[in-house]
Structure formats: structure tokens, C-alpha cells
Amino acid sequence: MRNFLFRLIGILEVAGGFFGMVAMLRRMLPWGSPHDSIVAVIGLVLYSFVLVAGVLLIEGSEQGVRLSSWAQLMQLPLLATPILSYALHCGAFVNVFATLQWPVRLGLDWHVGSEGFLLAVAGPGVARMGVNLLALLSWLALRLR
């Protein structure tokens, strides 16, 4: 069971990391604004890290387990405030979030076969905070040594 979970996590990391790298390269290549290019380079580095972690995890390396744990922790938080926004997912996500306005609303969103990266100094007018449950469960599974 452990090997199956590790391979599944690795496959999602490799697929999400690869598609994320392609998306960040497409975002970088028109050489638009410097701010957009910097965010694309940061995204490219993060997705490259996740891709390498996934490959090492599939190979069964202990370093792959360690790097994949960090990759899952990077995908854990969801933050969208008027001051700062951050979100990252590779391969799949199950997000549970709350809008921070009165009345507080809880939400659930999920998708398989996707990648996404958001890093912005500004964000939406209505703040949302949440957690990627799939990343949390994957991180916990990676701790099963």
C-alpha cells in the first residue's frame, strides 16, 4: 500500500510539475512586464523542484520522500487577501477554504489533472484562506516510513 501511495503521489508531482513548467515557460516567453517575468521564474523553479521530487519518489529514493514532503508542504496553504495571494498545486487538489467576510462561507473545490500557481502582492477584495486537503493527506502518507 505504501509503494502504491508513493507512486501515485510521484506521478501527480511529475505530471503537475511538467505541465506547470510548460505553463511558466509560456508565461515567460513573451517577455512582458518584469513583474510577470519574475513571478514566472519563481513558478518555474517551484515546478522544477516538484518534478524532480516526483521523479526521485517514483525511483524509491529516500531523498525523493524528503523532497516530496517539502513539495506537498508548499502546496498546502491557500491565501488570497487584498495584501498577498499565494497558491500552488501540482497534479490535483482538494481545497477547503473560507471567505473572510460576514457571513463567513465555507467552500470546497477540487480538480484532477491540473496545475496552478498564484503569487501576487495584491488580491481579491474578499479574502479567502484555506488548505489543500490532498496535499495534507499526501504529506501525511509520505511520513509513513
% the chain with pLDDT above 70: 99
Q: Predicted confidence band at 132 (pLDDT cuts at 50, 70, 90)? A: very high
% the chain with pLDDT above 90: 78
pLDDT recorded at residue 62 = 94
Tell me the per-residue pLDDT of 92-131, one tens digit each, with 9 for 90 and over. 999 999 998 888 899 999 999 889 999 998 888 889 999 9
Tell me the per-residue pLDDT of 38-61, one tens digit each, with 9 for 90 and over. 999 999 999 999 999 999 999 999
Judge whether residue 145 has pLDDT over 80. no
pTM of the model: 0.91
Q: Predicted confidence band at 35 (pLDDT cuts at 50, 70, 90)? A: confident
pLDDT recorded at residue 37 = 87
| Contacts for 72 with CB less than 8 Å, ≥ 6 apart | 9, 135, 136, 138, 139, 142
46 closest CA partner among 81, 16, 66, 26: 16
pLDDT recorded at residue 144 = 80
pLDDT recorded at residue 111 = 94
Please say whether the beta carbons of 120 and 43 come within 8 A.
no
